Amino acid sequence: MAVNLAAPDPASLFAVKGVKIGVTEAGVRKPNRKDLMLMTLAPGSRVAAVFTRNRFCAAPVTLAKSHLHGGQIRALLVNTGCANAGTGDDGVLRAAQTCEAVAKLLDCNATQVLPFSTGVIMEPLPMERIVAGLPGCVANLRDNNWALAAQAIMTTDTVAKAYSKRINLGGQQVTLTGIAKGSGMIRPNLATMLGFMATDARIEPSLLQQATTYAAERTFNCVTVDGDTSTNDSFILVATGQSGTVEISKSDSPEFKIFLDAVTEVSLFLAQALVRDGEGATKFITIRVEGGMSETECRKVGYSIAHSPLVKTAFFASDPNLGRILAAIGYAGIEDLDVSKVDLYLDDVMVAKGGGRSPSYREEDGQKVMKQQEIMVRVVLARGTSAATVWTCDLSHDYVSINADYRS
Active site residues: 192
d(CA 287, CA 303) in angstroms, rounded, equals 9
Helix (H, G, I), strand (E, B) or coil at 285: strand
How far is 54 from 38, CA to CA, in rounded Å? 25
Provide DSSP, 218-276.
HTGGGB-SSSPPPSS-EEEEEE--TT-PPPB--TTSHHHHHHHHHHHHHHHHHHHHHHH
Q: What Cα–Cα distance (Å) separates residue 328 from each residue in 277, 305, 310, 318, 379? A: 24, 5, 9, 18, 11
Distance CA 276, CA 393 (A): 7
| DSSP classification of residue 188 | S
Rounded to 5 degrees, what are φ and ψ at 238?
-105, 135
Helix (H, G, I), strand (E, B) or coil at 197: strand
97 Ramachandran zone, left/alpha/beta (phi>0; psi -120 to 50): alpha
Name residues whose C-beta falls within 8 Å of residue 320's C-beta, 6 or more positions apart in sequence: 314, 346, 351, 363, 366, 367, 369, 370
CA distance 362 to 350: 9
